[in-house]
Chain A
Amino acid sequence: MNATKPTRDWYPFVGPFDPCPPKYVKSYYVPPNELIPYQPMNLPQFSLPEALRLGTLWPALYGPYEARSSMRGQQSDE
């Protein structure tokens, strides 16, 4: 599977008469829980302070999200 990249890309139809500058690639996010059918025992763990900060004890379930096109400021998408 795509272990390095948590997003999947797809290529929407781009018409010859699109009113706005088209996006050629769109992507959606696949969280790590989708890739683990049933969580195995004894997975590696974060340190406890780190786990409290990140929201999960297990790196395998850690799926961070960054703002896509930064709302305020630059306009790079993904």
Chain B
Amino acid sequence: MWIYEKKLQYPVRVSKCDPRVARYLVEQYGGADGELSAALRYLNQRYSIPNKVIGLLTDIGTEEFAHLEMIATMIYKLTKDATPQQMEEAGLGPNYVIHDNGLFYNNSSGVPWTAAYIQAKGDPLADLYEDIAAEEKARATYQWIIDMTDDVDLQDGLKFLREREIVHAMRFKEAVEIIKADQGTRKIF
């Protein structure tokens, strides 16, 4: 069960009318290493992982949904007032034809989100290393999106999200250490 707080995790300000960037932000919305993939990956893996790290996956998976909202807000702010012509100039002509100015879970190239982006191998180390890799890939993606805009307010929100990826990767690495240490201990069931 979740409790919803009707505010963003970190304030989102977009100061430059540049719908072009919305197309790149979509990568973190419905892309392979985006926030939707992250949230669903962690919240699903947690069922078959040792007890000690279930809570970590729950917490981080939940935070990824908070990030998803922030990304959605950025995209929405950039596209909600765009005319069809402006959408096309922003490279979002195909998006307009399919979704009007609506958001959709696809990547920056328009490929729809697929569950094939995420994994649950059932092996705690395999899953956690996938999670670490996902966080690092998301961090890199944020860097490349930051490179694509000169809106400092938008960059501010993206920099927050990028930093969270670093923290999450650290937590997952600690979870790997917990799992490794656990392997040598004797346990009575």
Contacts and interface: CB of A to CB of B under 8 A. Distances in A.
Interface of A: 12, 15, 17-23, 68-69, 71-72, 75, 77
B81 interface: yes
Contacts of A69: 83-85
Q: Is the interface of B mostly helix, strand, loop or mixed?
A: loop
A71 B17 CA distance: 19
A42 to B, nearest CB: 37
A18 B18 CA distance: 11
Contacts of B78: 19-20
23 contacts: A15-B77, A17-B15, A18-B77, A18-B80, A18-B81, A19-B15, A19-B16, A19-B78, A19-B151, A20-B17, A20-B19, A21-B17, A21-B81, A23-B80, A23-B81, A68-B84, A69-B83, A69-B84, A69-B85, A71-B85, A71-B88, A72-B85, A77-B83
B82 interface: yes
